[in-house]
Amino acid sequence: MNDRKYFILAFTLITRFVFSQCDSAFTYFDSIPGNVNILVGDSCFYDQDLEALNDLISLNELQYDSALELGTQTWFNGRLKILVAGNYGNSTGVNDTIYTLPESIGSWTSLSGLYLEWNRISLLPDSFNMLTELRSLYISNNILRSIIEDIDSLSHLTYLDLGYNEIDSLPSSLCSLNELQYLWLFNNNLTTLPDCICSMSIDWSSDDSAWFPYFAIGGNRLCENVPDCIANSENFNVSLDQFYYSFQIESQQECDNVMIDGSIIFPSRLKINMPYPNPFNPTTNFEVRLLKNEELTITVYDIKGLLVDIIFDSHASEGLYKFNWNASEFSSGVYFIELKTLRDRLFKKVILTK
């Protein structure tokens, strides 16, 4: 037998072996897209993990031809380990907005990292408590009004980012997350906290080596009966910026001059609603409320951080203002509207689709 025939025979036998080694609960893929990383194992993927990915695609009418194309995925021995599905406006996340999470994500029982930032998710499905191996959950900049009551089912959580949502209360089961090291609750609608929260082993006031706070809760409505560990935290009025989510900013509690622990907490003097529509083409609208007379600058940056437009730059009196941004001269993509006064600085993400 010549070398060529031997090579063909060997390749055929190896191929048959690869196909046959997939368990009946797994599906083999002979072509893997570049967004998929396999840490350990081969091209056999657990059917129920794939089914939940497909449900996520169909439920939100996302444009993917295969479950493996969604976001950035990491697999370990055929099980989905990390899913990056934030709406970042680039190739690392999803190509459109996620509004709903399917119940079938309860199948992701090996998932350790889930990234869902900048979507429009309002509710976590009941099956979310099945993600018992989850270590990192980043779901900031959505419209969550609550989290699951039995969040202690996610007993291995280390990072929990709930920033920039609409959450008004937290379940007491949160206090049982004994492995939690990072808890970000800034810019929600919290008025109360569980009585047990100070029992958590969180470093309430320190930052890590990258200057990220272990805990931050600025921009809420915590004005009365605030637990001591929170009221005395150095990060009681701390948030992270919405642009790169990489530096700390001051975000006061909205308390209308309520006295807490001997110091007056002033309300933020700058308020903005979510731009609408968003995604948009070519015009999006938003309202800004100033609580005092001051200089106001409204600018627009692209995803690279480059200034592309100036909407407003002048002195403004106290009151409500309506603005719009016409992006007919700009290409599709993600942009950030920055609002800045001498004291406050806010960002809102908008997506231009043409």
- Side by side, the strands of the sheet bearing 270-272 are 270-272, 283-290, 319-326
**Across the strands, what pairs with 270?**
290
Asked if residue 13 has pLDDT above 70, the reply is no
**Mean pLDDT (the chain, rounded):** 88
The whole-angstrom separation of Cα 37 and Cα 181 is 27
Domain end among 236, 264, 292 = 264
Torsion region of 69: left, alpha or beta (phi above 0 gives left; psi -120 to 50 gives alpha)? alpha
Say whether pLDDT at 71 is over 50. yes
Report the SS3 class of residue 47.
helix
If asked whether residues 146 and 295 sit together in one domain, one would say no
Task: Please give the pLDDT value at position 268.
Answer: 54
Q: Say which CATH number the domain at 218 has.
A: 3.80.10.10
Domain end marker among 217, 239, 264: 264
Q: Which of 235, 264, 293 is the last residue of a domain?
A: 264
Q: CB of 101 within 8 A of CB of 133? A: no
Looking at residue 58, what is its pLDDT?
A: 97
Q: Which of 36, 51, 31 is nearest to 102 (CA)?
A: 51
Q: Count CA atoms within 13 Å of residue 258 on its CB side.
A: 15
Confidence band for 231, pLDDT divided at 50, 70 and 90: very high
Residue 2 lies in a domain: no
User: How is residue 160 written in tokens?
Assistant: 């929990």
Residue 43 domain-assigned? yes
Residues 249 and 309 both lie in one domain: no
Domain that holds residue 218: 10-264
Which pTM does this prediction carry?
A: 0.75
| Cβ atoms within 10 Å, residue 257 | 9
| Tens-place pLDDT, residues 105-125 | 999 999 999 999 999 999 999
pLDDT exceeds 50 at position 258: no
Query: Is 60 inside any structural domain?
Result: yes
95 and 185 part of one domain: yes
Q: Is the domain of 14 the same as that of 107?
A: yes
3-state secondary structure 169-201: CCCHHHHHCCCCCEEECCCCCCCCCCCCHHHCC
Q: Are residues 254 and 313 in the same domain?
A: no
Q: End-to-end CA distance of the chain, in Å?
A: 60
Residue 195 lies in a domain: yes
201 in the same domain as 283:
no
Give the integer Cα–Cα distance in Å for 314 and 294. Answer: 9
Mean per-residue pLDDT, 345-351: 83
pLDDT digits (tens, 9 = 90+) for 320-339: 899 999 999 999 888 889 88
Paired tokens of 34: 């570049």
Residues 14 and 55 in one domain: yes
pLDDT, tens digit, 9 for 90 and up, residues 191-214 = 999 999 999 999 999 999 989 999
Measured distance CA(87)–CA(94) in Å, rounded? 5
CATH assignment of the domain containing 309: 2.60.40.2550
Of 254, 260, 204, nearest to 233 by C-alpha is: 204
Rounded to an integer, the average pLDDT of 234-256 is 85
pLDDT tens readout for residues 271-330: 777 788 888 999 999 988 888 888 999 999 987 778 999 999 999 988 889 999 999 999
Please check whether residues 347 and 206 belong to one and the same domain: no
Half-sphere exposure of 51 (CA within 13 A, CB side): 10
Do residues 232 and 319 share a domain?
A: no
The pLDDT assigned to 16 comes to: 42
137-182 tens-digit pLDDT: 999 999 999 999 999 999 999 999 999 999 999 999 999 999 999 9
* pLDDT bracket for residue 190 (50, 70, 90): very high
Q: What is the pLDDT of residue 202?
A: 97
Retrieve residue 134's tokens: 């989850």
5 located within any domain:
no
Per this entry, what is the length of the chain?
A: 354
Q: Name the H helices within 195-277.
A: 228-231
Share of the chain above pLDDT 70, in %: 90
Residue 51 lies in a domain: yes
Q: Examine the domain organization and report whether 237 and 314 are in the same domain.
A: no
Question: Alpha-carbon distance 325 to 254, whole Å?
Answer: 28
* Structural domain contains residue 3: no
**In the structure, what pLDDT confidence band is assigned to residue 257 with cuts at 50, 70 and 90?**
very low
Is 302 part of any domain? Answer: yes
Greater confidence (259 vs 30) lies with 30
Q: Could you tell me the pLDDT band of residue 104, with boundaries at 50, 70 and 90?
A: very high
Identify the band that residue 256 occupies on the pLDDT scale cut at 50, 70 and 90: low
What is the number of structural domains in the chain?
2
Task: Please give the residue that has the higher pLDDT: either 129 or 263.
Answer: 129
Query: Are residue 181 and residue 314 in the same domain, yes or no?
Result: no
Statement to judge: residues 244 and 286 lie in one domain: no
| Cα 29 to Cα 32: distance, rounded to the nearest angstrom | 7
